[in-house]
Amino acid sequence: MERAEFFSSQAGRTIIAPRQTRARFGIGDVVRHRLFAFRGVVFDIDPVFANSEEWYQSIPEDIRPRRDQPFYHLLAENEDSSYVAYVSQGNLLADPEGGPVDHPTVRQLFDSFKDGRYRMRRSLTH
């Protein structure tokens, strides 16, 4: 399998990842966590785990996800607050509500919400 390397500032190290991975969700998709009561909109995707070792080890071992799957950066919300979450693909489901996410950063990254998806601002795409 062909591999690629990229530097993750979050992890503070170079990450080696398969050149091609299959992300189930795309930027702008609204998703829900499989175990915990929060939902969010995807704003970035890592092909494999690319956060710090300390962050990874802080997850209880019995629910710790595999590293070799896509991880998603979410503008997340629950009943109490809005925040940024980093979640493995195996822990995400499509959000059946399909409604907009009430996160204060959404308008900075996305232009519109249509057909259950957000559209990234043109100025942020390449």
Residue from 6, 3, 39, 45 nearest 24 by CA: 45
Q: Please report whether residue 11 resides in a domain.
A: no
Residue from 31, 20, 43, 33 nearest 109 by CA: 43
Q: Please report whether residue 6 resides in a domain.
A: no
Q: Please report whether residue 7 resides in a domain.
A: no
Q: Please report whether residue 66 resides in a domain.
A: yes
Q: Please report whether residue 5 resides in a domain.
A: no
Q: Which two tokens stand for residue 92?
A: 């995400």
C-alpha of 20 from chain center: 17
The residue range of the domain holding 111 is 22-124
Q: Which two tokens stand for residue 89?
A: 């693909």
How much is the average pLDDT of 19-25? 78
Q: Please report whether residue 1 resides in a domain.
A: no
Q: Please report whether residue 15 resides in a domain.
A: no
Q: What is the pLDDT of residues 53-70, one digit of tens each?
A: 999 999 999 999 999 899
Q: Please report whether residue 8 resides in a domain.
A: no
Give residue 116's pLDDT band: very low, low, confident or very high (50, 70, 90): confident
Give the number of domains in the chain.
Answer: 1
**Higher-scoring residue by pLDDT: 8, 106:** 106
Q: Tell me, what's the pLDDT at 97?
A: 80
**pTM of the entire predicted model:** 0.83
- pLDDT surpassing 80 at residue 2: no
Indicate which CATH number applies to the domain containing 75.
Answer: 2.30.30.390
